[in-house]
Amino acid sequence: MKRQLVLEDGTVFTGEAFGSMKESVGEVVFNTGMTGYQETLSDPSYCGQIVTMTYPLIGNYGINRDDFETINPAVFGFVVKEFCDTPSNFRSDEDLDQFLQANDIPGITGVDTRKLTKIIRQHGTMRGILTAAETEETDPLKKIEATPRLNDQVSRVSTIKPYVSPGRGYRIVLVDFGMKHGILRELTTRHCHVTVVPYNYSAENILRLKPDGMMLTNGPGNPKDVPEAIEMIQKVIPSIPTFGICLGHQLLALACGADSAKLKFGHRGSNHPVYDYETKKTYMTSQNHGYAITKESIEKTELELTQIALNDDTVEGVKHTTYPAFSVQYHPEASPGPDDTNQLFDRFLQMIENYQTQQKEETTHAKA
Ligand X SMILES: NC(=O)CC[C@H](N)C(=O)O
45 is in an annotated binding site: yes
CB 338, min distance to ligand X, A? 16
Nearer to ligand X, 42 or 218 (CB): 218
Phi first, then psi: give them for residue 120, nearest 5 degrees: -65, -40
Nearer to ligand X, 63 or 150 (CB): 150
CB 177, min distance to ligand X, A? 7
246 binds ligand X (CB under 6 A): yes
Nearer to ligand X, 3 or 127 (CB): 127
Task: Choose among 42, 237, 44, 29: nearest CA to 120.
Answer: 29
Angle at 341 between CA 335 and CA 346, to 5 degrees: 105
21-50: which residues touch ligand X (CB under 6 A)? 45
205-244: which residues touch ligand X (CB under 6 A)? 218-221
Q: Per CB under 6 A, which region of 97-105, 118-126, 288-296, 344-352 contacts ligand X?
A: 288-296
Ranges of H-type helices in the chain: 37-41, 96-102, 113-123, 140-146, 153-157, 181-189, 203-208, 227-236, 247-255, 295-299, 344-367
319 binds ligand X (CB under 6 A): no
288 is in an annotated binding site: yes
CB 326, min distance to ligand X, A? 16
CB 210, min distance to ligand X, A? 27
Q: Per CB under 6 A, which region of 9-17, 55-63, 128-136, 284-292 contacts ligand X?
A: 284-292
Give the residue, chosen from 37, 201, 243, 291, that forms a contact with ligand X under the rule CB under 6 A.
291
Nearer to ligand X, 120 or 246 (CB): 246
**What is the amino acid identity at position 315?**
V
CA distances (Å), 257 to each of 162, 203, 243, 296, in order? 28, 18, 17, 12
289 binds ligand X (CB under 6 A): yes
Helix axes 227-236, 247-255, angle to 10 degrees: 70
In whole angstroms, what is the distance from residue 30 CA to residue 54 CA? 7
Task: Choose among 20, 205, 174: nearest CA to 108.
Answer: 20
Task: Choose among 278, 279, 275, 281: nearest CA to 329.
Answer: 275
Task: Choose among 289, 224, 244: nearest CA to 263.
Answer: 289
Active site residues: 246, 331, 333
CB 300, min distance to ligand X, A? 22
182 is in an annotated binding site: no
CB 60, min distance to ligand X, A? 25
- 3-state SS class at 117: helix
Strand partners, 28: 50, 126
Q: Answer whether 87's CB lies under 8 Å from 61's CB.
A: yes
290 binds ligand X (CB under 6 A): yes
327 binds ligand X (CB under 6 A): no
Nearer to ligand X, 45 or 270 (CB): 45
Determine the size of the site formed for ligand X (CB under 6 A): 11
286 is in an annotated binding site: no
Count CB atoms within 10 A of the CB of residue 299: 11
244 is in an annotated binding site: no
Q: Per CB under 6 A, which region of 198-206, 225-233, 286-294, 354-362 contacts ligand X?
A: 286-294
Nearer to ligand X, 288 or 301 (CB): 288
Q: Answer whether 20's CB lies under 8 Å from 78's CB.
A: no
Residues that bind ligand X (CB under 6 A): 45, 218-221, 246-247, 288-291
Annotated binding-site residue numbers for L-glutamine: 45, 219, 221, 247, 250, 288, 290-291
